[in-house]
Amino acid sequence: MNNSANTPVYRALFCDLRTDRVLDVLPLTETKFDDFIGKPGSLTATIPLPNGGLASRARAALRPGRTAVWLERDGDIWWGGVLWTCTPVSDEQGRLKVQFQAGTFDSYLDHRILSGDLLGTATEQFDIARSLVEHAQQQPGGDIGISLGHERSEVHRDYAYAYSGLARIRELLDKLAQLADGFEWRIHCYRDTQGRRVKRLQLGHPKIESGHADIVLDHPGQILTYSLPTDSTVQANVWVARGESANTDQSQESEPLTVSEESPEDFDGGWPRLERTSDHSGVKDEGTLRSLARAELARQNRPETIPELTVLLDGQITPALLGARIRLRIHDLWHPEGLNRHYRIVGLGVNPPQRTKAETATLYLEGA
């Protein structure tokens, strides 16, 4: 990597996951990382091992399942997560390197289940979300330092989570967020005003929004490539949701609770009937199941456009822009009249500069 004055400097901090104590700082090559709203992000990279000393350091620092990885760009935190895999590789000439993969800190919640029953009535849904993460961190060995905020959604719900369901914490958070009038969540990583590394549960109703002013991106211009697919394979105007049977009489045959929601205005407007389904284990309440079906129908009611842009990083684009709006302007053969539309950034992937390649970012967007 060229460390000229105009080239950003990336460095990886390897820390103990539970205490965040720095174990080592090691050089990386072949680095790629991404972060998203709504799903875990990932980091893949390679550490060259030209001598025994560096190999010994890497062996001590890279401990899958108990090492945290923080990626800095010019001193700012751009990514944070948990090291999950580590693979030493040797070629025919005996040259050694170690490849590793890490997932954003929310991936840790995929490895945690409830340790007891949780229930409540008329509870602010953000408080339910925070109580799930707090519950995970209260168990022995479970605290990895995720801080909880104070956001409010003004949406209240009843909830009951049973230990016997063996549900993962992330699964419960996602199902709660997917209810009608739900929310978005992620683990936001940054450095605070005291210079401390922070991993914070970020909640947004109905969406996570960034306060940054709209960024204008043009093609031709800063945009190197773009992809604007329209996908009706995921479209539906009828949604059938299936839960579990609420029948407690073992002498009678049990049938799973099933509900259907539809958009009759689509049929009046000429659309064919397009049906999709979903299964919701543990849901025995018809109102909750209908809420899930309505939310799914609202998300999938029109052909989905998932724009993807590749841009040069020039100081405008940073991970802090997740949730921010951009104004996309395209003028080419497919858009002879010009496209001028607002989108929201829901994902960001970064390729740090290499010897022959400039630093670029891929933006994943949704309609704003």
Both 354 and 253 in a single domain?
no
The total domain count for the chain is 4
Both 180 and 317 in a single domain?
no
- Separation in Å, CA 52 to CA 15, 57, 101, 188: 21, 9, 22, 36
Last residue of a domain, one of 299, 328, 350: 299
Both 119 and 194 in a single domain?
yes
- Domain containing 323 — which CATH number? 2.40.450
What's the confidence (pLDDT) of residue 270? 95
What's the confidence (pLDDT) of residue 250? 65
Locate tokens 């409830």: which residue? 114
d(Cα 284, Cα 287) in Å, to the nearest integer? 9
Both 94 and 68 in a single domain?
yes
What's the confidence (pLDDT) of residue 2? 43
**What H or E segment, with its residue span, contains residue 293?**
helix 286-299
What's the confidence (pLDDT) of residue 339? 92
Both 101 and 122 in a single domain?
no
Both 352 and 221 in a single domain?
yes
Last residue of a domain, one of 284, 299, 314: 299
Both 267 and 354 in a single domain?
no
Whether residue 291 lies inside any domain: the answer is yes
Residue whose C-alpha is closest to residue 40's, from 97, 76, 80, 90? 80
Whether residue 120 lies inside any domain: the answer is yes
- Domain containing 180 — which CATH number? 3.55.50
**278 beta partners:** 241
Q: Are strands 76-90 and 67-73 parallel, antiparallel or unpaired?
A: antiparallel
d(Cα 88, Cα 131) in Å, to the nearest integer? 39
Full-model pTM: 0.85
What's the confidence (pLDDT) of residue 335? 93
CB 176 within 8 A of CB 170: no
What are phi and psi for residue 255, nearest 5 degrees? Answer: -120, 135
- Which stretches of the chain drop beneath a pLDDT of 50? 1-4
The tokens for 101 are 């993969």
Structural domain span for residue 336: 215-229+306-367
What are phi and psi for residue 136, nearest 5 degrees? Answer: -60, -40
Both 180 and 224 in a single domain?
no
Both 188 and 84 in a single domain?
no
Both 97 and 157 in a single domain?
no
Both 161 and 269 in a single domain?
no
What's the confidence (pLDDT) of residue 316? 84
Locate tokens 């290499």: which residue? 354
Render pLDDT for 298-311 as a digit per residue (tens, 0 to 9): 888 876 677 899 99
- Separation in Å, CA 90 to CA 30, 51, 55, 94, 207: 16, 13, 12, 6, 46
Whether residue 3 lies inside any domain: the answer is no
**35 beta partners:** 348
Render pLDDT for 154-210 as a digit per residue (tens, 0 to 9): 999 999 999 988 999 999 999 999 988 999 999 999 999 999 999 999 999 999 998
Both 126 and 197 in a single domain?
yes
